[in-house]
Amino acid sequence: MKIAVVVPAHNEEPFIGILINSLLAQTRQPDQVVVVSDHSTDNTVEAARYASQNHPNFTVIERKSSATHEPGSKVIRAFQEGLQQVEPDFDVIVKLDADLDLPPNYFYWLETVFKNPKVGIAGGQAAIEVNGSWEVERLTDNDHVRGAFKAYSKNCFEKIGGLKAAMGWDTVDELLAKFYGFDVIVNENLIVKHLKPTGFSYNKKAAKTQGEAFYSLGYGFLLTAIASLKLALRKKKPTLVFPYLTGFLAASLSAKAKLVTAEQARFIKSYRWKKIKQKLFG
pLDDT band at 63 (very low <50, low <70, confident <90, very high): confident
98 CB contacts (<8 Å, ≥6 apart)?
A: 7, 8, 9, 10, 12, 15, 16, 19, 35, 44
pLDDT band at 52 (very low <50, low <70, confident <90, very high): very high
pLDDT score for 71: 61
Distance in angstroms (rounded) separating the CA atoms of residues 126 and 144: 11
pLDDT band at 257 (very low <50, low <70, confident <90, very high): confident
pLDDT score for 15: 96
Distance in angstroms (rounded) separating the CA atoms of residues 195 and 172: 25
Q: How many residues does the chain have?
A: 282
Distance in angstroms (rounded) separating the CA atoms of residues 130 and 113: 30
Distance in angstroms (rounded) separating the CA atoms of residues 240 and 130: 23
pLDDT band at 277 (very low <50, low <70, confident <90, very high): confident
The average pLDDT across 243-268 equals 92
Query: What average pLDDT does the structure give for the chain?
Result: 91
For residue 245, the one-letter residue type is L
Distance in angstroms (rounded) separating the CA atoms of residues 167 and 238: 20
Distance in angstroms (rounded) separating the CA atoms of residues 83 and 98: 16
| Torsion sign across C-alpha atoms 186, 187, 191, 192 | negative
Q: Say what the pTM is.
A: 0.90
Does residue 175 carry a pLDDT above 70?
yes
- Tell me, what DSSP letter sits at residue 10? S
The average pLDDT across 58-86 equals 84
Judge: domain 3-194, CATH 3.90.550.10: yes
pLDDT score for 69: 55
Q: What are the DSSP calls for 14-26, one per residue? A: HHHHHHHHHHHT-
Q: Say which residue, 166 or 115, is predicted with more confidence.
A: 115
Tens digit of pLDDT for each residue in 207-227? 888 899 899 999 999 999 998
Does residue 202 carry a pLDDT above 60?
no
